[in-house]
Amino acid sequence: MFYYAFLAELHRRLAPRAYLEIGVRDGGSLAQSHCRSVAIDPAFAITAELDADVALFRTTSDEYFARPEPLAPTGGRPFDLAFIDGLHLFEFALRDFIHAEQHASSRGLIVFDDVLPRSIDEAARERHTNGWTGDVYGMLEVLAELRPDLVVIPVGTRPTGLLLVTALDPTSTVLADRFDDLLARFRRPDPQPVPTHLLDRLTVLPPERLLESDLLEVLRAADADGDGLRDRVRETVARTLGPAFETAEV
């Protein structure tokens, strides 16, 4: 399944009330949204037809989230769904996740693009291939080590996979507090040490199986009880997807 089709299903099934997209490019992924949306990209050139109430910001995500009220465009409503597809480098993906989680709702779902490189070359920090993921894949290891409270599910969409993260905690400061240490550990020189099981997609969920589960309906029906929701999400994932997908695998 191509990732646009999967994103369209996420929007349809979750019915988010507010959507965040970091990395807009031509608007292909933004076109899947039908709710109030905040879209950030310093060089967007939209050619896709949009069908949403969109606030477009031609700026970097760091600059956007440095403003006093990042949720002003949604009237203060936190994001139920966020898609991170900005610069394909570990440090930017990490910062974007920190910002997205801080401004997510209790039922929120954050989705990373490009977490499953198909080759070592494709994962290079210095781009030299047509298809390129960069070293975003490092987020899997970081979340598994430092955020076992999250539910993290790699999904094998075409062409280079998605990473779904939920059971969010907007109050967590673990990643922000460890940011410099994480950069020292996970910004590695090329060639990248991509785990074999990621290249082979041995621990990756087929997108159809995720869509057949009850996870999206559990998130959609959630109330403001964040702690109770995290328990329900874990139970749903263990029951319908298997306990291996409750936390990130490395």
Burial of residue 187 (CB within 10 Å: 0-12, 13-18, 19+) is middle
Structure tokens that stand for 243 in this block? 């306990």
Output DSSP code: residue 192: P
Other Cβ atoms closer than 10 A to 35:
19
Residue 38: which H helix or E strand, with range? strand 36-40
- What's the topology of domain 3-245? Rossmann fold (3.40.50)
Decide: 2 and 158 in contact? Cβ < 8 Å.
yes
pLDDT at 247: 57
Kindly indicate the confidence band of residue 227, based on its pLDDT and cuts at 50, 70 and 90.
low
Indicate the pTM of the whole model: 0.96
For range 229-248, the mean pLDDT: 80
Residue 250: pLDDT band by 50, 70, 90 thresholds?
very low
Reference 164, options 145, 174, 176, 150; nearest CA is: 150
Q: b/e per residue, 54-72, with b = 16+ CB within 10 A?
A: bebbeebbeebbeeeebee
Indicate if the pLDDT at residue 248 is higher than 60. no
> Looking at the DSSP assignment, which residues form a beta bridge with residue 153?
164
Task: Identify the band that residue 225 occupies on the pLDDT scale cut at 50, 70 and 90.
Answer: low
Would you kindly state where each structural domain of the chain is located, as residue ranges? 3-245
CB-based contacts of 217-221 (< 8 A; 24+ apart in sequence): 217/13, 219/14, 219/80, 219/107, 219/109, 219/166, 220/13, 220/14, 220/15, 220/107
Predicted confidence (pLDDT) at residue 245 exceeds the cutoff of 80: no
What average pLDDT does range 131-159 have in this prediction? 97
DSSP string, 73-132: GGTTPPEEEEEE-S-SSHHHHHHHHHHHHHTEEEEEEEEEE--S-SSTGGG-SS--SSS-
Average pLDDT in the chain? 94
